[in-house]
C-alpha cells in the first residue's frame, strides 16, 4: 500500500463501475486532490508507468481506465474494509485454484511435523496444497490462531510459522484445514494449506481445480 492508492481511489470514485472509462484533465484531478496540475500530471504518469492505469489523450483531458493491477490494489483495500465493517460472523470466503507448489511443502511439513502436531492437534499430511486466489484476499494475520516456533537443524534455519483456521471445500466435500503463514512474510500471494489428509488423493484434486476457503474467525 503506497501513496498511489490515493490517486487510484480518487479516479475510481469518479467512475461508475470498475470496467468504466473516465475523461478527466490533469488540472481537474489536481483540484480533486488538492494539488497542482503539474503534480496531478506526474501522478498519472507514475500510475501509467507502474501499470496501474491506461490512458489516451482526448481533446479535453485524458481517458483513463484501470488495469487488472490497478483494480487489484483497490480490490484488496475493499476486501479488507469489508471484513472490518461487516457484522461479526459474516463468512470470509476466498476462492482460488490449486497450483503446483514448489514441492517444498512436503519437506517443510515433515520438518515442522512435531511442532505442528502439537499445535494443530493432529498429525498433518506430509504435503501442502497451494491455492492461488482469484482475487486479492484480506490480510490474514489478525485471524492467526497459533504459532509454531522456528528452529535450526543441520545448519539450516526454519523460521516461525503462524496458522489460520479454515474450512476448505468444493462441490461435494468439506475439510477442516489450516493456512500456514511464514512469520516474516508481508505479501502472501498464495495460500499454503495443511490438512490431516492427503486431499489430492482423497478428493481427486488436481492443479487448476477451483476450491473455496472459508476462514474460521
Partner DNA sequence: ATTACTAACTTTCGAGTAT
Partner DNA sequence: TATACTCGAAAGTTAGTAA
CB-wise, 122 or 150, nearer to a copy of itself?
150
Q: Are 54 and 32 in contact (CB under 8 A)?
A: no
Q: Are 183 and 161 in contact (CB under 8 A)?
A: yes
Q: Which of residues 132-151 bind a copy of itself (CB under 8 A)?
A: 138-139, 141-143
Residue of 182, 186, 146 whose CA lies nearest to 166: 146
The H or E element that residue 22 is part of is strand 22-24
First to last CA, the chain: 24
Site string for a copy of itself, 46-75 (x = CB under 8 A): ----------------------------xx
Name the binder of 172 from DNA, a copy of itself, none, CB < 5-8 A by kind: none
Site string for DNA, 10-49 (x = CB under 7 A): ---------------xxx--x----xxxxx-xx-xx----
Dihedral (C-alpha) 1, 28, 12, 10: value to the nearest 10 degrees? 40
The yes or no reply on residue 97 touching a copy of itself (CB under 8 A) is no
The grid coordinates listed for 143 are: 485471524
Half-sphere exposure of 132 (CA within 13 A, CB side): 8
CB-wise, 27 or 80, nearer to DNA?
27
Q: Which of residues 12-51 bind a copy of itself (CB under 8 A)?
A: 12-18, 32-34
> Binding residues for DNA, per CB under 7 A?
3, 25-27, 30, 35-39, 41-42, 44-45, 57, 60-62
Amino acid at each position: 500500500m503506497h501513496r498511489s492508492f490515493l490517486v487510484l481511489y480518487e479516479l475510481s470514485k469518479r467512475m461508475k463501475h470498475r470496467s468504466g472509462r473516465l475523461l478527466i484533465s490533469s488540472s481537474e484531478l489536481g483540484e480533486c486532490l488538492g494539488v497542482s496540475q503539474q503534480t496531478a500530471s506526474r501522478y498519472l504518469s507514475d500510475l501509467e508507468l507502474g501499470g496501474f492505469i491506461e490512458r489516451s489523450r482526448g481533446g479535453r483531458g485524458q481517458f483513463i481506465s484501470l488495469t487488472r493491477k490497478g483494480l487489484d490494489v483497490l480490490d484488496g483495500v475493499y476486501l479488507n474494509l469489508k471484513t472490518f465493517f461487516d457484522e461479526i460472523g459474516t463468512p470470509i470466503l476466498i476462492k482460488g485454484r490449486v497450483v503446483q507448489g514448489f514441492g517444498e511443502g512436503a519437506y517443510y511439513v515433515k520438518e515442522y511435523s512435531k511442532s505442528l502436531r502439537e499445535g494443530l492437534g493432529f498429525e498433518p499430511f506430509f504435503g501442502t496444497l497451494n491455492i492461488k486466489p482469484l482475487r486479492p484476499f484480506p490480510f490474514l494475520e489478525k485471524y492467526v490462531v497459533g504459532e509454531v516456533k522456528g528452529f535450526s537443524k543441520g545448519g539450516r534455519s526454519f523460521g516461525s510459522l503462524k496458522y489460520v483456521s479454515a474450512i476448505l471445500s468444493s462441490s461435494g466435500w468439506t475439510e477442516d484445514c489450516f493456512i500456514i503463514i511464514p512469520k516474516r512474510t508481508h505479501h502472501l500471494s498464495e495460500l499454503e494449506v495443511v490438512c490431516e489428509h492427503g486431499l489430492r488423493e482423497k478428493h481427486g484434486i488436481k492443479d487448476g481445480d477451483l476450491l473455496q476457503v472459508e476462514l474460521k474467525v
